[in-house]
Chains A and B, each alone.
Chain A
Amino acid sequence: MNLAAIIENQTEIPEAVLFFILSPIMVLSALGMLLVKKAVHSALLLAVIMIGLAIFYIANQASFLGIVQIVVYTGAVMMLFLFILMLVGVDSSDSLEETIRGQRIGAILGSLGVGFLLISLLSRADLGRPYSGLDLVNVEGNVQAIANTLFTRYVWAFEVISALLITAALGAMVLAHRERLLPRKSQRELAAERVRQNVVPVAGLPGPGTYAQHNAVDIPALLPDGTPADLSVSKVIAARGELANPSTFRMNEKKEEGQE
């Protein structure tokens, strides 16, 4: 059975079911992409749309494009987007203030207008002949059909595209290249600087206190004069208020009496 057959300009029922399940998901994801605040969420919603489009390509007898869509878009391009998001800062959310007054409402109205225009145009347009489907073209297989056309009629465009790809790769390298203003510091210079500045203790921070009755990370060590050293415990524990007091482990008076 040919699932992609078109009978009197209508598709088969399975394809209609696929369309009516998948297209609301895609439209909702697209709207969500517009509305969510974090860029990472937008990227994930865009990935949903891309996968949906790939399924629609395959349903539209373009299996090669469907696979390329998944490999190139959901694979490479979305990964690139996520990498750049990690580089630029994941929680860089949008500011909500308008720089141009009335721009947001204008943008919404304008795009609604464009949408209505496109859809009304499409609903009036007519091909003038019944939809034929790609069964005859895809007899040898979709990849073969694309290759036959791509390497004969469009071979010049194909060659030009390769020049574009090389230029884009080169352009990205030039743009992302950073000139080093100061020479790179060696390990030796870094060590000398650390000793000279002495902001961080060179020998490392003191460890927590170790006592006869108790040793744990929540007890500060004692300095030679008997005061607790704040640096010897983690700031997190101190902020939570879970520090134990070292004075509770002090030698009690009984022993001192015994000495007398």
Chain B
Amino acid sequence: MSLDYYLYLSALLFTIGAAGVLIRRNAIVVFMCIELMLNASNLAFVTFARMNGSIDGQIFAFFTMVVAACEVVVGLAIIVTIYRSRRSASVDDARLLKL
């Protein structure tokens, strides 16, 4: 098996995640799809590190993980705030700038 297959898998997961962000309405599911995209890019980073024989790709993947964790924390706090004011977690209901 060629190492390229990992990259194909990563591209597939990234695409599915992007489709999910566009199609789904529930803000939490949209968020999970964003996580899927970040993870797919991480797989590509790790594979590139192995192809090149250098550890830098793994360092990038590590930084991506930290940034993704920050993003999840802030994003979920925003979702909870929106849910409190509108009683809905659907991205379609949050279309007004103020209540």
**Residues of A near any B CB (own CB < 8 A):** 6, 9-11, 15-16, 19-20, 23, 26-27, 30-31, 33-34, 39, 42-43, 46, 49-50, 53, 56-57, 60-62, 64-65, 68-69, 72-73, 76-77, 80-81, 84-85, 87-89, 92-95, 99, 103-104, 107-108, 110-112, 114-115, 118-119, 122-123, 127, 131-134, 136-137, 142, 145-146, 148-150, 154, 157, 161, 164-165, 167-169, 171-172, 175-176, 178
Contact = CB atoms under 8 A, between A and B. Distances in A.
Contacts of B67: 161, 164
A98 B49 CA distance: 42
Given A56-B43, A131-B51, 6 more contacts: A49-B13, A77-B35, A95-B92, A132-B51, A132-B52, A134-B49
B2 A10 contact: yes
A110 B22 contact: yes
A94 B4 contact: no
Given A33-B20, A56-B6, A150 B59 contact: yes
A27 B13 contact: yes
Interface in B82-98: 83-84, 88-90, 92
Contacts, number: 233
What interface size band does chain B fall in?
Answer: 35 or more
10 contacts: A6-B50, A30-B12, A42-B29, A46-B35, A50-B39, A77-B35, A84-B79, A119-B8, A132-B51, A164-B67
B56 to A, nearest CB: 7
A224 B12 CA distance: 74
B59 A146 contact: yes
B72 to A, nearest CB: 5
**Closest 4 CB pairs between A and B?**
A132-B53, A107-B22, A16-B1, A115-B15
A65 to B, nearest CB: 6
Contacts of A150: 59, 62
A165 B42 CA distance: 19
A88 B13 contact: no
Given A9-B2, A131-B50, A94 B80 contact: no
Interface in B64-81: 65-74, 76-81
Contact of A15 (B1, B58, B90): B1
B55 A176 contact: no
Contacts of A103: 22
Contact of A131 (B3, B5, B56, B81): B3
A132 B13 CA distance: 25
A34 B46 contact: no
A88 B20 CA distance: 20
Given A23-B9, A53-B39, A56-B43, A80 B76 contact: yes
Contacts of A99: 92
B6 A49 contact: no
Contacts of B23: 34, 104, 107-108
Contact of B28 (A16, A61, A85): A85
